[in-house]
Amino acid sequence: AMLANGLAVQIDIHPEEPYKQAVKNDNEGVERFVMLWRRLAAHYSNRDPEKVFFEVMNEPEVHDPYRWAGIQAAAAEAIREVAPKHTIIATGPNWSDIIDLLTQHPLPDGNVIYNFHFYEPNQFTHQGASWSNPYLIYTHGIAYPADESSMNEVLKQVPDFADRFALERYWLDHWDAHRIRLEIDAAAAWGKTYNVPLICNEFGAYRRVTDPASRMNWIHDVRTALEADSIGWTMWDYRGGFGVVWKEDGQPTKVDDKVVEALGLKGR
């Protein structure tokens, strides 16, 4: 259906925690993962290789970068056996952050794009989220960029000393457009060193309790940093808690014009 509507498609393994644990801890789990990719890639191997891409795994949560490198290489080899022309999308271990990408060496394959995700700083992008650091569910209205007076008020939301210090580091680490650009420059330098292409196929900020203007500032700064380094990007997500559109039950979808503007898409 996507191809029929003129879209390109990234197919990835996007599993829940038990599956990832099996791959992380059990060699039999790795064998099953590789077998899955061999079957999956064979199934789609007759589709246009310019439109269908195979992403090895979303945020693998394998903490050992050497183990993940071996797992990813085995999966890539299985894909290549049955789909010799399709582009593979590879990533780093853990949560596919930039630091995870930097632990890896490119695969011995000339048709691979390397991917990372960007949600830094987590204290800002995940404020109000229930699945991240537990204290962040209580935080709201954290500004980006922050100033000392606004952070003094926000810190009152967190009673625990250690959690409060973790939140305060957002201010102490001076997160702004320059800091974001330096972080993304590190990924770009890795790509240039190995002469390989990069994408960031997830970046976003949870919108439920986030100041809209701050969210737009952050989205704009990440997007422009990626483009300055010639890195392709996709914002997470379309209509969920990080979305570019609003969708209420029974109502037509509403595009968030401010997000569209922050993404540089207004008027295109």
For residue 11, the cross-strand partners are 54
Distance of alpha carbon 187 from alpha carbon 227, whole angstroms = 13
Q: What pLDDT shows up at residue 266?
A: 84
Distance of alpha carbon 95 from alpha carbon 4, whole angstroms = 32
Structure-token match 């000393």, residue found: 161
Can you say whether the dihedral through the CA atoms of 34, 40, 44, 45 is positive or negative?
positive
Judge whether residue 268 has pLDDT over 90.
Answer: no
Q: What is the mean pLDDT of the chain?
A: 96
Cβ-based neighbours of 253, under 8 Å, separated by 6 or more: 239, 245, 246, 247
The model's pLDDT over 43-94, given as tens digits with 9 standing for 90+, comes to: 999 999 999 999 999 999 999 999 999 999 999 999 999 999 999 999 999 9
The model's pLDDT over 139-148, given as tens digits with 9 standing for 90+, comes to: 999 999 998 8
Structure-token match 């991240």, residue found: 132
pTM of the full predicted structure?
Answer: 0.95
The helix/strand/coil state of 84 is coil
